A and B are shown apart, each in its own frame.
Chain A
Amino acid sequence: NAGVMQNPRHLVRRRGQEARLRCSPMKGHSHVYWYRQLPEEGLKFMVYLQKENIIDESGMPKERFSAEFPKEGPSILRIQQVVRGDSAAYFCASSARGSGSYNEQFFGPGTRLTVL
């Protein structure tokens, strides 16, 4: 049973370009969370999605960032017009379900984004 997959593992972009980060949840999981880890910091929540729905985007910057989790295919975190401050590790986690009780979030290996 494959774990949470993220690709690419490393991504280099120049300022002003777009970054697309992909996350394939564990088999049977329909809930996805995105977190960002700045250097020397803990992970910070960005967005929580279920298939075709954004449930909570309270941690997402209002501009340049967007996320989706389509009916088919991986979840995508998109950063437009990247700036140096976007350089970070971006982690995706998936869980089986999110309401009524807590279900463990399983983390992917992360994508390290470097903005030149």
Chain B
Amino acid sequence: AQTVTQSQPEMSVQEAETVTLSCTYDTSESNYYLFWYKQPPSRQMILVIRQEAYKQQNATENRFSVNFQKAAKSFSLKISDSQLGDTAMYFCASASVGAGSYQLTFGKGTKLSVIP
């Protein structure tokens, strides 16, 4: 079984500043993926970034990057140059790879507000 924990229910950041969202996970699987999803007020789930556990290099997507600490089972999201459109709920998620289903396990989310 996998668990994902997000310890920051809410955060805020000034426009153009940098913010880091925390996530820890627990899994007994050796092969797994980690994700950050964004859910704006429209409620559409949007994939922000993903990380394969076997890759040591941290994933980056434009202004979004992760700090993946495998031994510590930590997977934080850094948003640089925050924009008003980044205001949303952010969910950390994991999925194991192998036989069976590839269900995503989500954390409870962090509500991010970008302040003008």
Contact = CB atoms under 8 A, between A and B. Distances in A.
B91 A107 contact: no
Contacts of B33: 102
The size class of the interface chain B forms with chain A is 20 to 34
Contact of B97 (A42, A101, A107): A101
Contacts of B99: 99
Given A42-B109, A99-B99, A89 B43 contact: yes
A102 B95 contact: yes
A102 B107 contact: no
Give the interface residue-count category, chain A.
Answer: 20 to 34
Interface in B71-116: 91, 93, 95, 97, 99-109
Contacts of B44: 107, 109-110
B45 A55 contact: no
Interface of A: 33, 35, 40-45, 48, 55-56, 59, 89, 91, 93, 95, 98-99, 101-105, 107, 109-110, 112
Interface of B: 4, 33, 42-47, 50, 91, 93, 95, 97, 99-109
